[in-house]
Structure 1
Amino acid sequence: MSYLVEENAAKHRFEILVDDALAGFTAYLPRGEVLVFTHTEVDDRYQGQGVGAALIKGTLDQVRARGGRVVPRCPFMAAFIERHPDYADLVVDAP
């Protein structure tokens, strides 16, 4: 399986494509350089295959690369960051 995580700014979300098919997304509310993540969804066909983790990792890597910060209101993203503390520096309180 090949993964591609890309931002869909028009829909305020990062999407993950698996073999060119939309497999999931994580939605955000933009607050300047801070993105407040509210919901993550992975298509049932891709559950339990690491797609959600790949989506969050790809999203956080892109946010970090552009100097942004996140507020993980989404429980899935919050749990991922808790399990991967090297991303904790991206977390800020809601603006």
Structure 2
Amino acid sequence: MVEAAQSSGKKLLTGHCLRFWPGYEYLKELITSGEFGQFTEGYFYRGSGAPKGWLVKDELSGGCMLDMHVHDTDIIQHLFGKPNKISGEASLC
């Protein structure tokens, strides 16, 4: 992606916005402080309404599953580091 942006003269932006949502910022503070001890596992669920417009066009967005998953994966790694083991479950958008 970096090479494609450089060769085309375009800017590349990865917008991992969940890191800056107040609830996730608070969670990061709790984890970092150790207030509740060391975390050893987690269960995460984040849903949303049905997407509309460009987001449902695979050629423009990769589809809603890809869009949601990249943010969820980023926030888990931001909060806890790279996990040793994961499992996932999804439903169609």
Q: TM-score, normalised by structure 2?
A: 0.35
Which structure is higher in RCO with an 8 Å CA cutoff and minimum separation 6? Answer: 2
Which is helix-richer, 1 or 2?
2
Q: TM-score, normalised by structure 1?
A: 0.35
Which is strand-richer, 1 or 2?
1
